[in-house]
Amino acid sequence: MTSIDELHTGNLLWLTAAAYVGYTTYRLLYNLFWHPLASFRGPTIAAVTPLYKAYIDLVAKSSFVHTLEKLHAQYGDIVRVGPNEVFSDPEIHRTWTEMDGTDPL
């Protein structure tokens, strides 16, 4: 059996890189398919990384608020915009609250 002292630095780097790639792949698949919010529609990249909103604001030079309006038009009343974040259409929220006096979320 090989001990940790017998492993070369190159082998350790490959093992670390393989572990990182494996973990990243696991998190990506988990967020897309098995996460509790996976049933909500939205951009695929938004389900995978929390950097989606930063991309909209900084790289695309757009406002996230205006993009959110487009996302609601494309995906419906509730849109997933991050791995752990969804947005509800404010108009639908007001309508539900006026109908029965309760907060649907």
Question: What are 87's strand-pairing partners?
Answer: 79
Residue 8's pLDDT is what?
Answer: 79
Distant-in-sequence, close-in-space partners of 72: CB < 8 Å, separation ≥ 6: 79, 87, 89
Radius of gyration of the chain (CA): 21
pLDDT given for residue 81 in this prediction: 94
Residue 27, token pair as written in the block: 């998190």
Distances (CA, A) of 73 to 41, 67, 101: 12, 10, 26
Ranges of the chain whose pLDDT falls below 70: 1-7, 92-105
Q: What is the DSSP string of 65-94?
A: HHHHHHHHHHH-SEEEEETTEEEE-HHHHH
